[in-house]
Amino acid sequence: MIKDLEVEVIRLRRFDDAESKLKAFVDIAVGEFVVRGLRVVQGQKGLYLAMPQDQGKDGRWYNSFYPKTADARQALSDIVLSVYKQEV
């Protein structure tokens, strides 16, 4: 399904703090829509893409945008992380 959509990284703001797990904020365009607030994070197994989140009234954090399938998540992650790695 993601192959049918045009996905483009429109902004990538990198953080160079070596102690922080947060490496970049990313905004993407999916077709004619913009999704803001994705994050590149350094985890125990390497870099991963974290989805934008909003805090609920209960104090917990909930994803406000997320892929419907694991394949879509992997495709989106591949696109964003390849752009992140190119700009090193």
Q: What is the pTM of this model?
A: 0.85
**pLDDT value of residue 2:** 57
For 21-38, what is each residue's pLDDT tens digit? 999 999 999 989 999 999
Structural domains in the chain plus CATH codes = 2-86 (3.30.1120.40)
Tell me the C-alpha to C-alpha distance, in Å, between residue 68 and each of 1, 5, 22, 75: 10, 14, 24, 12
Number of C-beta neighbours around residue 21 at 10 A: 13
For 36-85, what is each residue's pLDDT tens digit? 999 999 999 999 999 999 999 999 999 999 999 999 999 999 999 999 99
